[in-house]
């Protein structure tokens, strides 16, 4: 999986599905912009290249790298192996073509749907504070910023959420996209279920809320007591309310043996697919990432696992060891609960902003984009006493504190944050790969170089040198697409610098109501951007600021150029594009050879059923285990591996929850690494909003034969009763 750089974090199931959500804004016979919010750890240069190639093949020059932005939400619970540079592929055993392809496919389909949904409408913007979903995980570095600058801000993280509301002239509201800074690390480094983390959860909650409530009600208290929006189970009337009759009915439905299925059967049974209205676009809600570099969702703070005491303030260590220092989310020790809470807090704030949004975006749609070589960029700095000096960025390099990780996911060995010295042993290990020369050491100072990635070229580039930067404009709303994780203060400086250029242009297009947001982790990935002062401290974020101490100044300089060109209506140089390294990729991930079941068992047979004549109450967990196969055989995109069905009438089973629901978990396992046999465990945590009635759990999958043939199958559990509490 991608995010924690933990080779032992291997995906083994689904918490809920990952999505690509897109909006397109176009002027009639004018310019247009595309923004894709991707449920992945970050954007990938190679993914962006291939998406643009497909769009050009389909639409010509309508959608290009100039006006398309692809931004990752930064979940650390998504697949790895889809980036093109070596350093981001080590823990995933290289390039994973399946993960790469499904991301490219999903993004392309999302943009196509948005293109086909283009209709006359209006856009409104709103913003407000969300106080309890983020904390600064590197406060000692933040405190190294000038006191005069810190006094301008009430908090050491950005607490403001900015939201766009999209309103179709005929259908009314059709979507909302918002930007708020908090890391996608509510799920821990030991989690093995695919998940959109807190932002993916918030998106799922809000889309479900809108499907249930539309804009008729602003009462988010209609959520169940578990905090999740009431689901479609409440839409379907249930005639059964006598528990004895329900039990009698349930006993007539025993588990069905596994049987062949079609590839599209699970798609047809998906809950949200069944609810779609063909003539009306579905509501799309995206929770986008911004300058989250030093921002954690683990709001209770960082504590030592051995003593329960707070970690060391400067180094985030416990007795000198960083491995024991972990941040705690609001649901501690339950990471699923922490994910739900932080997701719900963002969801509730977004609903509030959505319903109160009244400022309409007016003005031109425009964009500027260029490629910059950040490995040797000259940057002109203004001196405090007047005059200027020219400095340069450096080839990419990662410091020793990078290996220490963060309080969201600490590293291993004896690395620690705040290390500006390094140690002799790890220098020897480093030198086996690449010894940085004096010029690079001096350029990166005070960062002690652990990996000189920008100068490592075997078997191909370890880190990017050329990066895309981009501005998208929709009236008085401006998006700055950055290919990394800006810290809180870095983001503030960049936004302020661009806003100053826009509002001081003198042409009157931008005034005090100009809104500037940063879209983090967009179009490619190049790790962190700390301020010059934070860089001196060399905590994780500073050690991961690849291009040296003047990285932020370089971004500010180049974005000011883009903003100036935007204001003046001037073109910018395209720049030298980054390489396409697809043909150089290496994959060490083994393929699925075959699947099998024990003698006398079919794929889809129940291995462990619900107890006979069982009744469950809301809030309890139903668990069923099936004989299954490797999910990599078919990812069932737009389908589901797990399904909860409710009996309607005497023999009609209606889909209620699938593996895109927060309450349903799909877990895959096998007895040993080389075994062809495997099981799927499906867990349903019954929401408080579920209707009483007769239910069953169903599994879909696809097995692989020895000769490579793929066969789809399905199976279901015995029926059981969900009853109201007395």
Which residues have a catalytic role annotated? Answer: 296
User: Is 445 annotated as a binding-site member?
Assistant: no
Report the C-alpha gap between 76 and 92 in whole angstroms. 13
Q: Provide the total of helices (H) and of strands (E) in the chain, helices listed first.
A: 15, 37
Q: In the beta sheet, which residues pair with residue 34?
A: 24, 68
CB 49 within 8 A of CB 580: yes
Residue for token pair 């990996």: 451
Sheet of 121-129: strand order equals 284-288, 172-179, 160-168, 121-129, 359-360
Report the C-alpha gap between 135 and 197 in whole angstroms. 17
The SS3 assignment for 56 reads: helix
Residue for token pair 């592929």: 89
- CB atoms under 10 Å from CB of 580, counted, come to 13
Report the C-alpha gap between 167 and 281 in whole angstroms. 11
Report the C-alpha gap between 582 and 460 in whole angstroms. 11
Q: What are residue 395's phi and psi, to 5 degrees?
A: -60, 150
The SS3 assignment for 241 reads: coil
User: Is 534 annotated as a binding-site member?
Assistant: no
Report the C-alpha gap between 636 and 67 in whole angstroms. 31
Q: Is 65 left (phi over 0), alpha (psi -120 to 50) or beta?
A: alpha
CB 379 within 8 A of CB 393: yes
CB 223 within 8 A of CB 662: no
Using a 10 angstrom Cβ sphere, with 0-12 exposed, 13-18 middle and 19 or more buried, the burial of residue 78 is buried
User: Is 15 annotated as a binding-site member?
Assistant: no
User: Is 535 annotated as a binding-site member?
Assistant: no
Angle at 187 between CA 413 and CA 233, to 5 degrees: 165
Report the C-alpha gap between 40 and 336 in whole angstroms. 18
- CB atoms under 10 Å from CB of 697, counted, come to 27
In b/e form, how buried is each residue of 355-371, taking b as 16+ CB within 10 angstroms? eebebebeeebbbbbbb
Indicate the DSSP class of residue 94.
Answer: B
Kindly list the distances between the CA atom of residue 681 and the CA atoms of 12, 284, 373, 548, 641, in Å, as whole numbers in the listed order: 11, 30, 48, 47, 10
Give the distance between the most distant pair of CA atoms in the chain. Answer: 87
Kindly list the distances between the CA atom of residue 453 and the CA atoms of 56, 345, 437, 445, in Å, as whole numbers in the listed order: 32, 38, 13, 16
The SS3 assignment for 326 reads: strand
CB 633 within 8 A of CB 704: yes
Annotated binding site: 74, 183, 485, 528
Task: Output the known binding site for Zn(2+).
Answer: 74, 183, 485, 528
């Amino acid at each position: 999986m991608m995010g924690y750089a933990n080779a032992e974090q291997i995906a083994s199931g689904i918490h809920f599905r990952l999505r690509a959500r897109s909006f397109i804004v176009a002027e009639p016979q004018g310019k247009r912009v595309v923004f894709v919010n991707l449920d992945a750890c970050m954007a990938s240069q190679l993914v962006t290249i291939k998406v643009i190639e497909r769009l050009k093949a389909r639409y010509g020059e309508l959608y290009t790298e100039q006006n398309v932005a692809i931004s990752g939400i930064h979940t650390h619970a998504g697949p790895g192996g889809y980036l093109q540079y070596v350093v981001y592929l080590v823990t995933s055993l290289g390039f994973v073509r399946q993960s790469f392809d499904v991301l490219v496919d999903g993004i392309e389909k999302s943009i196509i749907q948005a293109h086909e949904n283009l209709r006359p409408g209006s856009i409104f913007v709103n913003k407000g504070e969300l106080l309890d979903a983020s904390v600064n995980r590197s406060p000692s570095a933040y405190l190294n910023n000038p006191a005069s600058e810190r006094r301008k801000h009430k908090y050491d993280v950005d607490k403001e959420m900015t939201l766009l509301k999209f309103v179709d002239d005929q259908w009314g509201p059709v979507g909302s996209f918002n930007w708020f800074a908090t890391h996608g690390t509510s799920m821990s480094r030991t989690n093995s279920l695919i998940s959109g983390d807190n932002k993916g959860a918030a998106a799922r909650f809000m889309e479900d809320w809108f499907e249930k409530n539309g804009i008729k009600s602003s009462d988010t208290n209609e959520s169940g007591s578990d905090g999740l929006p009431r689901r479609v189970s409440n839409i379907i009337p249930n005639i059964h309310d006598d528990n004895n009759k329900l039990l009698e009915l349930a006993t007539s439905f025993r588990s069905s043996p596994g049987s062949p299925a079609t590839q599209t059967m699970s798609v047809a049974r998906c809950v949200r697919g069944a609810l779609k209205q063909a003539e009306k676009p579905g509501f799309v809600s995206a929770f986008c990432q911004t300058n989250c570099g030093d921002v954690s969702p683990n709001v209770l703070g960082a504590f030592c696992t051995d003593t329960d005491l707070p970690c060391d303030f400067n180094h985030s260590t416990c007795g000198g060891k960083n491995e024991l220092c972990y941040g705690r989310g609001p649901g501690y020790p339950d990471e699923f609960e922490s994910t739900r809470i932080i997701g719900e807090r963002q969801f509730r704030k977004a609903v509030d902003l959505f319903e109160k949004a009244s400022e309409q975006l007016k003005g031109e749609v425009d964009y500027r984009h260029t490629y910059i070589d950040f490995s040797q960029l000259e940057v002109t700095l203004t001196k405090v006493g007047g005059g200027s000096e020219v400095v340069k960025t450096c080839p990419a390099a990662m410091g020793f504190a990078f290996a220490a990780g963060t309080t969201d996911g600490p590293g291993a060995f004896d690395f620690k944050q705040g290390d500006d010295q390094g140690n002799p042993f790890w220098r020897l290990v480093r030198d086996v790969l690449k010894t940085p020369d004096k010029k690079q050491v001096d350029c990166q100072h005070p960062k002690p170089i652990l990996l000189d990635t920008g100068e490592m070229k075997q078997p191909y580039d370890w880190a990017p040198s050329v990066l895309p930067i981009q501005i998208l404009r929709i009236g008085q709303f401006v998006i700055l697409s950055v290919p990394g994780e800006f810290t809180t203060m870095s983001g503030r400086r960049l936004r302020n610098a661009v806003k100053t250029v826009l509002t001081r242009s003198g042409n009157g297009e931008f005034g005090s109501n100009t809104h500037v947001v940063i879209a983090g982790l967009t179009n490619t990935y190049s790790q962190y951007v700390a301020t010059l002062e934070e860089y001196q401290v060399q905590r994780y974020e500073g050690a991961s600021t690849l291009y040296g101490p003047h990285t932020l100044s370089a971004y500010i300089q180049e974005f000011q150029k883009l903003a100036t060109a935007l204001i003046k209506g001037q073109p910018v140089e395209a720049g030298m594009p980054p390489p396409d390294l697809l043909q150089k990729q290496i994959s060490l991930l083994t393929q699925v050879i075959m699947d099998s079941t024990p003698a006398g068992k079919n794929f889809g047979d129940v291995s462990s059923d619900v107890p006979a004549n069982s009744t469950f109450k809301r809030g309890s967990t139903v668990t069923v285990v099936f004989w299954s196969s490797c999910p990599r055989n078919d990812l069932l995109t737009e389908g589901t591996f797990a399904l909860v069905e409710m009996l309607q009438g005497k023999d009609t089973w209606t889909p209620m929850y699938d593996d895109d629901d927060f309450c349903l978990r799909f877990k895959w396992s096998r007895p040993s690494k080389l075994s062809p046999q495997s099981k799927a465990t499906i867990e349903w945590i019954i929401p408080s909003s579920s209707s009483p009635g007769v239910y069953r759990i169903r599994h879909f999958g696809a097995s692989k034969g020895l000769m490579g043939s793929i066969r789809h199958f399905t199976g279901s559990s015995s029926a059981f009763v969900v009853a109201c509490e007395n």
